[in-house]
Amino acid sequence: MEIIVAGRGNMATAIETLCDKENQAFRRFVPDIQLTQPADQTVVIHVGSGRELPKIFRLCGEHNLVLVQGSGKMEEIMKQAEPLNFVVIDAPNFALPIVQFTALLGQITNKLKRVGMKVTSVRESHQQTKKTVPATALKMASAVDFPKESIESKRDPLIQWRDLDIPREHLNGHGYHWIIFEGGEVTIELSEKVNGRGAYAIGVLQIAKMAVELESQLVPRIYSVQYLIEATWNRRPFEDLKEKI
pLDDT in tens, 26-48: 999 999 999 999 999 999 999 98
pLDDT in tens, 169-209: 999 999 999 999 999 999 999 999 999 999 999 999 999 99
Asked whether residue 159 falls in the same domain as residue 133, the answer is yes
Name the 3-class secondary structure at 181: strand
Asked whether residue 30 falls in the same domain as residue 9, the answer is yes
Per-residue buried b or exposed e for 180-214, using 16+ beta carbons within 10 Å of the residue's own CB: bbbeeeeeeebebbbebbebbbbbbbbbbbbbbeb
Structure confidence at residue 25 (pLDDT): 96
What's the chain's average pLDDT? 92
Structure confidence at residue 240 (pLDDT): 58
**DSSP assignment string, 214-225:** HGGG--SSEEEH
Asked whether residue 232 falls in the same domain as residue 178, the answer is no
Q: Please, which pLDDT band fits residue 50 given cuts at 50, 70 and 90?
A: confident
**Percent share of the chain, pLDDT over 70:** 93
> Could you give the C-alpha distances from 89 to 59, 170, 199, in angstroms and in order?
16, 28, 18
Per-residue buried b or exposed e for 57-92, using 16+ beta carbons within 10 Å of the residue's own CB: bebbbeeebbbbbbbbebeebbeebeeeebbbbbbb
Does this model's pTM top 0.85? My answer is: yes
Q: Please, which pLDDT band fits residue 236 given cuts at 50, 70 and 90?
A: low
Q: Which CATH number belongs to the domain containing residue 19 in this structure? A: 3.40.50
Residue 40 forms part of a structural domain: yes
Domain that holds residue 55: 2-92+199-240
Number of structural domains (the chain) is: 2
Residue 77 forms part of a structural domain: yes
Residue 245 forms part of a structural domain: no
Residue 101 forms part of a structural domain: yes
Residue 155 forms part of a structural domain: yes
pLDDT in tens, 78-137: 777 778 899 999 998 999 999 999 999 999 999 999 999 999 999 999 999 998 999 999
Asked whether residue 178 falls in the same domain as residue 207, the answer is no
